[in-house]
Amino acid sequence: MRILLAGDHFVTNDLLAAALRDRVEAEPVTLTLPWPHVPFGPVAEVDEASGDEATLIAALSGVDVAVTQMAPFTARVLAAADALKLVVVCRGGPVNVNLAAAEAAGIAVRTTPGRNAIAAAEHTIALILAALRQIPDRHAGVRAGEWRSDLYALDRVGAELAGSTVGLVGYGAIGRRVGRILAAFGAEVLVHDPYAADVVGVDLAELLERSTVVSLHARLTPETTGLIGAAELARLPAGAVLVNTARGGLLDYGAVVDALESGRLGAAAFDVFDAEPLPADSRLRTAPRVVLTPHLAGATRQTAERAAALAADAVAAFVRS
Q: Do 152 and 230 share a domain, yes or no?
A: yes
Q: Please identify which of the residues 206, 289, 295, 305 carries the catalytic annotation.
A: 295
Q: Do 150 and 261 share a domain, yes or no?
A: yes
Q: What is the CATH number of the domain that holds 213?
A: 3.40.50.720
pTM, two decimal places: 0.92
Tens-digit pLDDT profile for residues 280-320: 999 999 999 999 999 999 999 999 999 999 999 999 999 99
pLDDT at 169: 98
Q: Do 276 and 164 share a domain, yes or no?
A: yes
Q: Do 315 and 273 share a domain, yes or no?
A: no
pLDDT at 26: 82
The b-or-e profile of 146-155 (16+ CB within 10 A means b, else e) is eeeeeeeeee
pLDDT classification of 191: cutoffs 50, 70, 90: very high
pLDDT at 196: 95
Q: Do 156 and 181 share a domain, yes or no?
A: yes
Q: Please identify which of the residues 110, 115, 247, 306 carries the catalytic annotation.
A: 247
- Report, as an integer, the average pLDDT of 92-102: 96
Q: Please identify which of the residues 139, 180, 276, 285 carries the catalytic annotation.
A: 276
Q: Do 165 and 245 share a domain, yes or no?
A: yes
pLDDT at 22: 87
- Report, as an integer, the average pLDDT of 256-277: 97
- Report, as an integer, the average pLDDT of 161-177: 97
Pairing of strands 65-68, 2-6: parallel
Q: Do 313 and 242 share a domain, yes or no?
A: no
- Report, as an integer, the average pLDDT of 202-215: 98
- Report, as an integer, the average pLDDT of 240-262: 98
Q: Do 16 and 50 share a domain, yes or no?
A: yes
Q: Is 295 a catalytic residue?
A: yes
Beta partners for residue 292, in sequence order: 270
Classify residue 239 as left (phi > 0), alpha (psi -120 to 50) or beta: left
Supply the range of the domain harboring residue 240. Answer: 117-292
Beta partners for residue 4, in sequence order: 29, 66
Q: Do 62 and 204 share a domain, yes or no?
A: no
Asked whether the predicted pLDDT for residue 222 surpasses 90, the reply is: yes
Q: Is 276 a catalytic residue?
A: yes
Tens-digit pLDDT profile for residues 10-66: 999 999 999 999 899 888 999 999 999 999 999 999 999 999 999 999 999 999 999
- Report, as an integer, the average pLDDT of 136-151: 96
Q: Is the backbone peptide bond immediately before 36 cis, with ω within 30 degrees of 0? A: yes
Q: Do 75 and 45 share a domain, yes or no?
A: yes
Q: Do 238 and 135 share a domain, yes or no?
A: yes
DSSP state of 160: -
Query: Any residues with CB less than 8 A from the CB of 107 and at least 6 apart, and which?
Result: 78, 81, 84, 85, 86, 87
Instruction: Quote the CA–CA distance of 94 and 90 in Å, as a whole number.
Output: 8
Number of domains in the chain: 2
pLDDT at 315: 97
Query: Any residues with CB less than 8 A from the CB of 211 and at least 6 apart, and which?
Result: 165, 166, 167, 190, 236, 237, 240
Q: Do 107 and 249 share a domain, yes or no?
A: no
